[in-house]
């Protein structure tokens, strides 16, 4: 093992509270002499990917919002697209 470091990932909010996941991941040595990389970082399957700052669930949510808002009139509120059940945010 080479070292450890913290990764911070944004995840989908719970209620009105943002969620941040903090992981301690290991940086490992590569034993293959032909490998160009001397070290590499372990990945958590289904949660982390190279240079990722968001979880796959948050990425899907943000993509859905972007698709829903694409083509809307200027000034259309994103909360009208993803408003919580039972809440009225802007009168829509």
In-domain check, residue 85: no
Dihedral of alpha carbons 15, 52, 46, 82, sign: positive
Domain housing 30: 3-73
In-domain check, residue 44: yes
DSSP class of residue 48 equals: -
Domain count, the chain: 1
In-domain check, residue 87: no
- pTM of this prediction? 0.65
Report how far Cα 85 is from the mean position of its chain's Cα atoms: 23
For residues 4-12, give the mean pLDDT: 92
Nearest to 61 by CA among 77, 78, 85, 86: 78
In-domain check, residue 88: no
Q: Is 51 helix (H, G, I), strand (E, B) or coil?
A: coil
In-domain check, residue 41: yes
Spatial separation of the C-alpha atoms in residues 12 and 58, rounded to whole Å:
5
pLDDT of residue 67: 80
């Amino acid at each position: 093992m080479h070292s450890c470091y913290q990764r911070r990932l944004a995840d989908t909010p719970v209620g009105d509270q943002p969620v941040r996941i903090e992981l301690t991941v290991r940086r490992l040595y590569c034993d293959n002499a032909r490998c160009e990389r001397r070290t590499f970082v372990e990945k958590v399957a289904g949660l982390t990917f190279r240079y990722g700052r968001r979880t796959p669930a948050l990425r899907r949510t943000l993509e859905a919002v972007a698709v829903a808002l694409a083509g809307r009139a200027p000034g259309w509120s994103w909360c009208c697209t993803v408003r919580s059940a039972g809440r009225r945010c802007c009168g829509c």
